[in-house]
Amino acid sequence: MRVLLVILALVGTLPRLNAALGETTAQSITRYGKPERDALQQSGLLFFRKGDLCAIAHFQQGKCDVLSLFSTENDMGLPKDLGEERIKSLLKSEGGHSGWTHLPGFTINGVWDSADGKSFAIYDTMRHKLVIMTREAYHREKMEKKKALSGR
């Protein structure tokens, strides 16, 4: 029993590598492999392709705060639909949270909130793209758009 408690304590202190949201660039490269396109210096983006999945990761202050995921397979010019089970799996594995709650609403898109309330996800049913982002990134993007529109 003591050995089990020690193992659990050690596992709890290890860095989490099962979540792309919040990862550093090095952790993301370890997870997805060498980026197909590196625009880190220009726009904070790294573009990855792993298996049948494309991932576009945005980094702010060295951590991934927006992650776009979509299929590498095309269906009439658009990425193939990820499907409900794959989306649930991606939220768990890439979103960094085990508890995502689907939010009901009057939208054709799927919307989820993370258990800690710091992140949310939207599945664009028209583009077949899952976007997971921190609320901080969302507010930052809103402020940048507002500044751009006002000319400041």
Q: Is 69 helix (H, G, I), strand (E, B) or coil?
A: strand
Q: Which runs of E-coded beta strand occur in 8-145?
A: 37-39, 45-50, 53-60, 63-71, 74-75, 78-79, 100-102, 110-114, 119-124, 129-134
Q: Is 130 helix (H, G, I), strand (E, B) or coil?
A: strand
Instruction: State the burial class of residue 67 (Cβ atoms within 10 Å of its Cβ: 0-12, 13-18, 19+).
Output: buried
**pLDDT score at 152:** 65
DSSP 104: P
**pLDDT score at 45:** 95
Whether 45 and 39 have beta carbons less than 8 Å apart is answered as yes
- The CB density around residue 92, as the number of other CB atoms within 10 Å, is 15
Whether 52 and 69 have beta carbons less than 8 Å apart is answered as no
In tens, the pLDDT along 108-129 reads 999 999 999 999 999 999 999 9
In tens, the pLDDT along 7-64 reads 333 333 333 333 488 999 999 999 999 999 999 999 999 999 999 999 999 999 999 9
Distance set, CA 130 to CA 8, 95, 143 (Å): 33, 11, 23
Q: Which two tokens stand for residue 26?
A: 């090095």
**pLDDT score at 105:** 83
In the chain, how long is the greatest CA-to-CA distance? 64
In tens, the pLDDT along 82-91 reads 999 999 999 9
